[in-house]
Structure 1
Amino acid sequence: MPDHSARTDVQLPARVTMPLLTLITQQSLDEDYLHVAERRAAGAPPPPRRLPHRTAAVVIAVFGILVTTAAVQTSRNADITDAGRATLVSQIGDRRATLSELQDRIVRDRERNVGLEQRLNQVTSTEEEASSRVRRLETVAGFIPVTGEGVRVVVDDAPNGDATQAVRDEDLAKLVDGLWSAGAEAIAINGYRLTVLSAIRNVNVAIHVNSRPLTPPYTVEAIGDTRTMQANLLDSTLGSEFFSLAEQLGFVYSMHNVDELSLPAARFPRLRSVQAGTSADQKTHMDEETNP
C-alpha cells in the first residue's frame, strides 16, 4: 500500500497554499517593484510622470467651451422664440381686431336687413292696397272686363207700336241709376259697358249709349249681390219710379237673377282736354261730339 504519511511531510509552495486574491495582489505589487528595481539597476531613466491636472484642465476648458456655445445658442434661440412669439401675439391681436370689426359689420348688416325687410313689407302692403284700389276703381270705372253673379233686366217698347209708349233714354237712365243705388258693381246695356263718362240719350227715335245706337229690346245687366239687388232696386226711389212708369206705359220687361254674368271692358275715350266743369258742361260737350 502506498505510504500517505510520507506525502504529508512534503512542503508545498506558497502560491499553492495562499488564497488566490492575496496571491494576485502580492504578486502584482512585487512584480511592479521588481520591474522598477530592474530599470534602476540598468540605469534606465524613470518613466515620465503623468500630468493629470493639465489633462483635467483641458477637459474642463473644452467642457466650458461646449457649455458656453450651448448657452449662446440657447440665447439666440430664445431671442428667435421671443420674436416669433411677439409676431404671433401681434397677429392674434390683428385677427381679433379684424374679427371684432367683421362682427360689428354683421350686426349692422342684420339691423339694415331688418329695416329693409320692414320697409319691403310696408311697400308690399302699400302696393297690394294700391292694386286692390286700382282694381276696384277699374271695375267701377268700367275699363276692365268683369265676371260675377248679378241681375238681368230686359226692357222693350209697348207692343202697340205707339211712339209715345217707346222706351226713352231717360227711362233707361232711371233703371241704371236705380241699379247703381241698389248695389250694382258693374253695368252694361246691350253689351256696352257703362262708365263714369257714359251717356244715355236719344238721337231722334234711337237710344245711344256711348254714342252707339241701340235697338230694342234693351238688356241691362248688373253684377252684384243677387240676394239683395232686386229688393233694393224695388225699394229705391229711381227703381220704383221706373217700374211705375213701365206699368203705366205698358213696357214689356222681365227681371231675374243670373249666376254668372260676363261684362266687357269699356273702350278708353279719346280725351282732347281736361278741365273742371259741371254736369251741364259735360252734356253740352257730348252733344257736340254726337252732332258735329
Structure 2
Amino acid sequence: MKDRDVPGVPGAFGSGTGARRMAERIPPEVLREALGALLGDDAAPDVRADEALARKIRGIEQEYRAAQRAYMAEHREEMIELRREANLGGRGAQELDRAIGRPRPGEAPRERRRDADVAMDGSESPMMGEVPDEQQAAARQRLRQIMEGAPRVEDFATRVWESLAAPQRAAVEARLDEWRAAEAKRREEAYVRQRAMERERNAPAAQPESAQRPARRPQAEAEMMQRRPQMADGQAPERPNVAAAQRRERLMRLFERLSPEQQENMLQRLENALRDGTMPGAAAPGPARGRAQRAPADAAKPAPSMDGVEVPGPAEVD
C-alpha cells in the first residue's frame, strides 16, 4: 500500500510519524516551490517528473488557482468592506490583501478612497479604533467563514502527492524540511525578541551612574589608582571581558536550541533560583549589611564561576 501522508494535510491519512510531521499547514507557494525538485531545471534525473506527470501536476495546480480566483472574485466586495470594519493590521492584513488581490482596471480610485476610510458617498467612515468592538468581532468572524470556505490547498496537495513515487516524495519532503527549519528559527527569534522587549518594559528605570554610587573622596581615589595594576607603558590593563563574552555566546547558543516552552521554563527556573539565593555562586539572603557575622568554616572556598552554573539541556526541560 502506498504511503498517503500528505504534506500540509493535518492527519488526513493516519496518525503515524509521517502524519505528525506534516501536521502543520504549508502555504501554497511553499508547496509549489517544493515541487520544483521534480519540475525545475535542476531536478535530479532519478526524480525528475516525466512529461506526463509534469503536465498532470501543472493541470491540478491550474484548476486550484482558477477555483481560488473565482471564489475570491465572488466575495471580493464583501471582503474589502469587512477588512475595513475588522481593523486588521500586521501579518493578518497582509495575508488578507493577498487573498483579495490587486484592484481591477478602473477600481484604483475606489480602493484608495476605501483605504483612506472614506465611504463611497463621500462621507467619512469610522477611523481605525472607532469601530465598535462588537462590529469588529462580527467582521472578523465573517472573514474567517469566507476564508474557510475557499478552495483548500490540501485537496491540491493530496491529488499531486498520490501521483508521486517514493523517491519523488522524498525529494519534495527535503525541500519542505528546509522551509520548516527556517520557520522554526523565525518563530524562536521572534519569541526571544518579544521576551527581551517585555523585560525592557518591566525593568525599573535606570538611575544615572553618579546616583548609583557615592562619589569617592580625592584621597580614596588616589589610593585606588595606586592599587590598580599597571601595564608596561603605565596604562591600566583591559578588563577581562573575553571570557564573559564567550560564556554569553555559549548560553545564547544553548538558548536558541530550545523550544519557546523550554526557553520559558528555563528562564523561570533561573529567575526563581536567583531570587531564592539557591543559584550556585549567587548571594544567599541573609542578615542586614553591616552586622558582624562569624565566617563559616568553609568561607575560604571560592564561589563557582559562571561556567559552573548548571543550565538544563533541551532534554531536561519539560
Report TM bin, short chain.
Answer: under 0.3
Which structure's relative contact order is higher, taking Cα pairs within 8 Å and 6+ residues apart?
Answer: 1
TM-score using structure 2 length: 0.16
Bigger fraction of residues in strand = 1
- Larger Rg belongs to: 1
